[in-house]
Chains A and B, each alone.
Chain A
Amino acid sequence: MNKIIIFFVILLLSISSLIILYREDISAKLSENLNRNLEKDWGKDHPKFFKNNLKVDFLELSISWEKLNTVAPVFPEGHFINSIKNIDSSNCILEVSLALKIKLDVVCEEIMIGFDSYEWELYQNINISKSHFILFGYDRNIFEDLYGKQGNLIVTINTNNLYINNTNKGDYRIEYYFQDEDTIRININKSDLTIKRQKEGLNIHTTDSEYFFLNSNYFNNTMKL
């Protein structure tokens, strides 16, 4: 029994020593891979990333960048994704905390989000979007994909300057996690918001209002069964 414990201790120490010895090389390789993946053109349905000085630190379990600009893909007119023009962030650091649920802490000096304004139609207590819609199959896949990658994460984003359509809204703290495969819970400066995937589209529920983006085929009704 003792021999087995000694074996595992030696093995652990050896691996740790190797990691410490080669930390620079491992971090450089991880940075190279991440940069390559972000630069790759994944197709017209995927967002594009423009970044500057993005680095991984393996020992610190962190990623830092000077600039990371995300440009949303362009879909048919009226598509919900089209309403988000860009998400730009500067001077950020992302730290990974290992716990029962992995926690990602992102701290940024500045985040800029640009999006179109929406037109709503009020029905009972629901604001239904008249200007933007969801693509039934495609957006369900985005949601599933996101759940597959972030289903077990809690993401926290802190920024000193949040710009929405070039207006500085000041200090913001945003936290989100998946409650289940259909629901994302978001907390923005202590206000709760829920995004729920439904058969009819996407439901956004805030403490005092409800918003709904419908599936496009509620309107584009020539789709054959």
Chain B
Amino acid sequence: MLIDKKKLLLILLFFGCCSLYFTLSIPSNSISWDQEEAIRIAKDILQGNFPLHGYKHSNGMYSFPAFYYFVSPLVYISDEPMFLYGSVAFLYIIGVLLLANYIYKKFGCFECIFFLLFSATHVWSLFFASYFWNPNYIPFFMCLFILSLAKQINEGSSVKYFHVSGIILNIIVQMMPQTIILIPSFVFILFLFKKLPSFLNQIIHVFIQLILVYPWIHYYLFILDWENHKIAGKFLKNFSAIFEYMNFLGGWGLTSEYIDYAFYGTNTYPFTEFFDALLTFSSILLVIMIIFSTYLTFSKISYINLFSLQIKAVNGIVLEKQKLFMALTILNFSCVFFFLTGMHMTPHHYQFLTPLLAFNLTLLASFKKHKKIITPLLLLCILIQGSFSYWRAYSEYKKPYATDIGYFDQFTNYITNNCNTESTAYILDPSGLNFFQSSKGDHDKKSCGKLILVLRDHYTQSEIIRWILKKNYAKTDMKFKDYLIWSRKNIKQHE
């Protein structure tokens, strides 16, 4: 069988772009408690201790165990952070390519190009795919879910895919409990397209779901010491969900160096305001297109009675495409639940939207009637998102932290090769002065004393940092990546 050259070229281009992004950004990621704990639990599984739950979330609830069982084979291969972080990126690429292959086959080259372009540029999607964390594998599973859903609503026999979709949804929910809102939307989609399986199959599926989450339920019902169990979170918190939804679309949250629930974002100094404005603009454009999608979808649903809804076919659009477009819009629309309930949301909670949005907007742009307006708008968003994403990746590569997974060893070697054991390195950043590490260098190396590492950006940004350094330290000729290295004044004078 001949390989379609156009398809192969698209795959290679997508793979090349993503590889560039991840090669630049993965080594510049940090490792923190969540990652170390996940690796520890996965190792426990490999040793035959099968946990019923994962680590505790910040709200006091224990996480579901599926993620740890899923990553334990990966940890068996290697527990190196670079490998595990890379596995998220690899699965993201695989998931997107599987879905792109389906789009190419079913709808053609135009749709496939837009889907791949969106997936290779979206700010938050690429960011989350570059490090190891429970919710970050969701886009991969979401791609599988959409594939299964597409087959289910557009193919004759749907029972097999019903169970497959349900199981994938269960895994997604275990990785991020907020995605539970996908379940009623999924049921509604099946009801709308009259694809609900027989009652017996529905009952069987409820049992499948219960079996999959039983370890966690068992722990909460029979093992947990409820008297000493404190839940910090509350259901209704604020109405930030809309704001965070727009943040997920546009990616403006990543223009800050310090962000919630991730060790750090991006130091965009001195372009912060420019990027904020740019990404906010793309966010507004995307919201407009999503609202239009929602209008198109719901205007094509007719109410017959409580047990029957009907969809109106649109002239000039293949029914298969229209149904899939409507299904994706309904899944996206389920986010309204977050807005109405006032759930506390942050961008990582919206990761299930990653392939969904790309596919949904791609289909919208392919509708003949709206092509002329939607296509340039979508291209503009892709251009804005891509510009920031790849600028960000390059900036992370040029200005990493010495504590990052790809640079920690490099810095250790640097200090070992240049300084003896009497030397210590500290990192000075806006939050203060923190111990980093002592040199393990031989005695024949020179004593560097107390070294202070300051990122050039922090030095420029903070008057306090400049005051501390000028008062107590002298600049050395040593250089590591974008760090300026200073040492105690008396050491320098002594030298």
Residues of A within 8 A of B (CB): 123-124, 126, 128, 136, 198-201, 212, 214-219, 221-225
Is A225's CB under 8 angstroms from B434's CB?
yes
Instruction: Determine whether the beta carbon of A221 is less than 8 Å from that of B467.
Output: no
A212 touches B431 (CB 8 A): no
Q: Which A residue sits closest to B401, measured CB to CB? A: A225
The CA of A216 and the CA of B464, in the complex, are separated in Å by 13
User: Is B468 close to A, CB under 8 A?
Assistant: yes
Shortest C-beta distance, B344 to chain A (Å), equals 12
> Are A225 and B258 in contact, with the CB atoms below 8 A?
no
Assess A221 versus B463: contact at CB under 8 Å? Given A198-B430, A199-B430, A200-B430: no
Report if A201-B464 is in contact (Cβ < 8 Å); known contacts: A136-B432, A225-B427.
yes
From known contacts A199-B258, A221-B426, A225-B403, infer whether A215 and B463 are also in contact, taking CB-CB under 8 Å: no
Flag if B433 contacts A217 (CB, 8 Å).
yes
A201 proximity list for chain B (CB < 8 A) = 464
Given contacts A199-B258, A225-B403, contact A218 B463 (CB under 8 A): no
A223 touches B435 (CB 8 A): yes
Distance (Å) between the CB of A36 and the closest chain B CB? 21
For this complex, 13 residue pairs linking A to B, each with C-beta atoms less than 8 Å apart, are A123-B463, A123-B467, A128-B467, A199-B431, A200-B462, A200-B465, A214-B464, A215-B432, A217-B432, A218-B468, A221-B434, A224-B435, A225-B427
Known contacts A212-B464, A214-B464; decide if A200 and B431 are in contact (CB<8 Å).
Answer: yes
Q: What residues on A are CB-neighbors of B463 within 8 Å?
A: 123-124, 126
- A52 CA to B280 CA in the complex, in Å? 53
Residues from chain A with a CB closer than 8 A to the CB of B464 are 128, 200-201, 212, 214, 218
List chain B residues, Cβ under 8 A from A215: 431-432
The CA of A120 and the CA of B433, in the complex, are separated in Å by 20
User: Interface extent on B, as a size class?
Assistant: 10 to 19
Closest to A198 in B: B430
Q: Which residues of A contact B462 (CB under 8 A)?
A: 199-200
14 further A-B contacts with Cβ under 8 Å, apart from A214-B464, A223-B435, are: A123-B467, A124-B467, A198-B430, A199-B258, A199-B431, A217-B432, A217-B433, A217-B434, A218-B432, A221-B426, A221-B434, A221-B435, A223-B434, A224-B435
Cα A77 to Cα B12 with chains together (Å): 61
The distance in angstroms between the C-alpha atoms of A128 and B253, with both chains bound, is: 31
Say how far B31's CB is from chain A's closest CB, in angstroms: 11
Shortest beta-carbon distance from A121 to chain B in Å: 9
Nearest A-chain residue to B429, judged by Cβ: A199
With A and B bound together, what is the CA distance between A200 and B459 in angstroms? 12
Q: Is the beta-carbon distance between B432 and A225 smaller than 8 angstroms?
A: no
- Interface status of B436 (Cβ within 8 A of chain A): yes
Bound CA span A216–B471, Å: 17
Q: When chains A and B are docked, how far (Å) is the Cα of A201 from the Cα of B431?
A: 8
Near A by CB (< 8 A), chain B positions 449-487 give: 462-465, 467-468, 471
Which residues on the B side are within 8 Å of A126 (C-beta)? 463, 467
* B377-405 interface (Cβ within 8 A of A): 403
Interface residues of B in 130-167 (CB under 8 A from A): none
B448 → chain A, closest Cβ, in Å?
16
Using Cβ atoms and an 8 Å threshold, which residues of chain B touch A219?
A: 433
Nearest A residue (CB) for B402? A225
Q: Which residue of A lies closest to B428 (CB)?
A: A218
State the CA gap A218–B467 with chains docked (Å): 11
Q: Note all chain B residues with C-beta closer than 8 A to A223.
A: 432, 434-435
A222 / chain B contacts, CB cutoff of 8 Å:
435
Q: Contact at B435–A218, with CB atoms within 8 Å?
A: no
Residue of B258, B435, B462, B464 contacting most chain A CB atoms (<10 Å): B464
Assess whether A225 is in contact with B435, with CB atoms less than 8 Å apart. yes
Contacts of B471 in A (CB 8 A): 123
B426 / chain A contacts, CB cutoff of 8 Å: 221
Interface mask (B313-343 → A, CB under 8 Å = 1, otherwise 0): 0000000000000000000000000000000
Query: CB < 8 Å: which of B403, B431, B465, B467 contacts A217?
Result: B431
A216's nearest neighbour on chain B, judged by CB, is B432
Q: Give Cα A217 to B430, complex, Å.
A: 10
A199 to B258 CA separation, bound complex (whole angstroms): 10
Residues of B within 8 A of A221 (CB): 426, 432-435
CB distance from B286 to the nearest CB of A (A): 26
